[in-house]
């Protein structure tokens, strides 16, 4: 991966179909409530996948998620598997994405299909995710207010120069803003090998705002077959960077133990890997934004968005998230920040 592409790894909670020229950035989540139309689309996608593969196999999930990307799945079913003009790359050509070969993501996806209320990204509800901020400089990133005077984001968001402004609200035009007085990075370098040592940064702000900071999760709450809520101001398929969005994605590896570290390019014990759900993933502009677990109806930030998994230059193939425990939490505290830690 080139240095330029690495520099621009800003999250984007996007649809899995990011353009072919998009770097491995993490921006723009798209999701919507599980309406009757969504349920019908899911059923059609299952029917389509059943035509080509046995349920539970990597090939089945490949077909299922690709079918959700089609302009009109019913047309495909009506033509016995033929693709409509402008459709995806189906039928299957023999290459199954790395994530779908991992049995853990299939277990997480099955659980999500039965329980999730979020599909393809949606705007937060009123009063939700108020602590999620836009981080503005030469690049647009996202972040999380974890104390009254500090926003946690990604170190690589400062590789093109330190960001200058923090924006709270539903979009980047919000008048609720703060000036960044200091930007401190856990790791000073701007290469992927540097980010393995901690792709985290703190943006210290003035004036201090009355927004309630988000507490950090007990990382034991990140279940092996669970899900994360990701949020940020990144790119979406329908528009550009600038609107706060959220989506749910499945956990693949919660602590990147071997062989995950080599398979996905993550840091052992310090990062987590999560996949896409339906068409939702993090992408350009979402870097530094939170990956959230919910406990007793309260949201806690468990990790921050960093980059795409190894070998992927586009959004929609899963991402790597920096865990907020161990060395990461120790570094945050060493900068004079004492975040609230979630407890039962």
Q: For 177-234, how does the pLDDT look when each residue is reduced to its tens digit (9 = 90+)?
A: 999 999 999 998 888 888 899 999 999 999 988 999 999 999 999 988 888 999 988 7
pLDDT bin (cut points 50, 70, 90) of residue 70 is low
Cβ neighbourhood burial of 197 (10 Å; 0-12, 13-18, 19+): middle
Structural domains of the chain, count: 2
- 296 compared with 3, residue with greater pLDDT: 296
Tokens in use for 27?
A: 């921006």
Question: Which of 206, 226, 241 is the last residue before a domain boundary?
Answer: 206
Question: Which of 206, 222, 256 is the last residue before a domain boundary?
Answer: 206
Residue 291 has pLDDT above 90, yes or no: yes
* 135-169 residues labelled b (16+ CB within 10 A) or e (exposed): bbbebbbbbbbbbebbbbbbbbbbbeebbebbbbb
Do the domain assignments include residue 274?
A: no
Say how far apart CA 302 and CA 108 lie, in whole Å: 17
Do the domain assignments include residue 174?
A: yes
Say how far apart CA 300 and CA 26 lie, in whole Å: 20
Do the domain assignments include residue 13?
A: no
pLDDT at 198: 94
Q: For 275-297, what is the mean pLDDT?
A: 73
Q: For 108-129, what is the mean pLDDT?
A: 67
Residue 137 has pLDDT above 80, yes or no: yes
Asked whether the beta carbons of 67 and 74 are under 8 A apart, the reply is no
The candidate with the shortest Cα–Cα distance to 332, out of 322, 318, 320, is 322
Do the domain assignments include residue 177?
A: yes
Do the domain assignments include residue 77?
A: yes
pLDDT at 168: 95
Is residue 86 domain-shared with residue 142, that is, in the same domain?
no
Question: Which of 206, 232, 260 is the last residue before a domain boundary?
Answer: 206
Q: What is the CATH number of the domain that holds 157?
A: 2.40.10.10
pLDDT bin (cut points 50, 70, 90) of residue 109 is low
The candidate with the shortest Cα–Cα distance to 247, out of 137, 120, 140, is 120
Do the domain assignments include residue 255?
A: no
Do the domain assignments include residue 89?
A: yes
pLDDT at 97: 56
> What domain range is 54 assigned to?
36-97
Is residue 188 domain-shared with residue 145, that is, in the same domain?
yes
What are the pLDDT digits (tens) for 247-269? 888 898 999 999 889 888 899 99
pLDDT at 36: 59
| pLDDT averaged over every residue in the chain | 74
């Amino acid at each position: 991966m080139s240095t330029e592409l690495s520099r621009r790894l800003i999250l984007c909670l996007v649809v899995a179909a990011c353009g072919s020229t998009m770097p491995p950035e993490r921006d723009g989540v798209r999701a919507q409530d599980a309406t009757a139309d969504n349920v019908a689309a899911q059923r059609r996608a299952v029917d389509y996948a059943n035509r080509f593969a046995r349920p539970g196999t990597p090939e089945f999930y490949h077909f299922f998620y690709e079918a959700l990307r089609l302009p009109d799945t019913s047309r495909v079913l009506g033509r016995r598997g033929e693709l409509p003009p402008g459709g995806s790359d189906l039928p299957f050509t023999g290459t199954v994405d790395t994530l779908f070969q991992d049995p853990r993501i299939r277990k997480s996806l099955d659980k999500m299909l039965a329980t999730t209320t979020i599909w393809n990204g949606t705007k937060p509800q009123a009063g939700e995710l108020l602590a999620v901020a836009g981080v503005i400089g030469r690049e647009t990133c996202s972040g999380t207010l974890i104390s009254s005077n500090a926003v946690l984001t990604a170190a690589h968001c400062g590789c093109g120069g330190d960001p200058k402004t923090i924006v709270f609200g539903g979009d980047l035009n919000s008048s609720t803003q703060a000036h960044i007085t200091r930007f401190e990075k856990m790791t000073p370098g701007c290469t992927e090998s540097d980010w393995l040592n901690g792709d985290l940064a703190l943006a210290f702000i003035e004036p201090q705002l009355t927004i309630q900071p988000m507490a950090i999760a007990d990382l034991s709450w990140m279940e092996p077959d669970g899900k994360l809520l990701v949020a940020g101001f990144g790119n979406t398929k329908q528009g550009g960077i600038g609107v706060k969005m959220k989506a749910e994605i499945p956990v693949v590896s919660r602590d990147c133990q071997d062989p995950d570290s080599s398979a996905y390019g993550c840091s052992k014990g310090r990062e987590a890997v999560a996949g896409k759900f339906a068409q939702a993933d993090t992408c350009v502009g979402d870097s530094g934004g939170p990956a959230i677990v919910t406990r007793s109806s309260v949201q806690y930030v468990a990790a921050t968005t960093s980059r795409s998994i190894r070998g992927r230059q586009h959004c929609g193939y899963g991402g790597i998230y920096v865990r907020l425990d161990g060395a990461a939490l120790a570094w945050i505290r060493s900068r004079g920040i004492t975040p609230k830690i979630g407890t039962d």
